[in-house]
Amino acid sequence: MKTYTLEEMTDKHIGKKGTPKRDAFENELRLDLLGQTIKEIRKERNLTQEQLGQMIGVKKAQISKIENSLTDARFDTILKVFRALNAKVNFNIELLNQKLVIT
């Protein structure tokens, strides 16, 4: 029986890197990881979704949607969430083979 790598299976069933379908899949995966991270940190800080929402001026439902990747939250809202959770945020952006780090 032949075994396949995750990359091979993803290429076959989702599409090769750089294709629109693969890009959408990877963006969705990143949003899922972001939501999970927010949820984990919130729980570590012993905050409810309602408390976190009050800290940044949104309703509990918005926090739930962010944590469960059910919304395309505004970038500003995501930053507010991390600030309220007292978490440092770093972004890596790669342009034309030049890596930029924004802290």
pLDDT digits (tens, 9 = 90+) for 63-77: 999 999 887 788 889
Going along the chain from its start, the domains and CATH numbers come out as 6-102 (1.10.260.40)
Cβ neighbours of 85 (radius 10 Å): 19
Work out the widest C-alpha separation in the chain, in whole angstroms.
55
Residue 47 DSSP label? -
Per residue in 10-37, pLDDT (tens digit) is 888 888 988 888 888 887 777 788 899 9
Q: Tell me, what amino acid is at 100?
A: L
CA dihedral (45, 66, 52, 83) in degrees, to 10, reads 70
Note whether 66 and 35 are within 8 A (CB). yes
If you average pLDDT over residues 76-92, what whole number do you get? 89
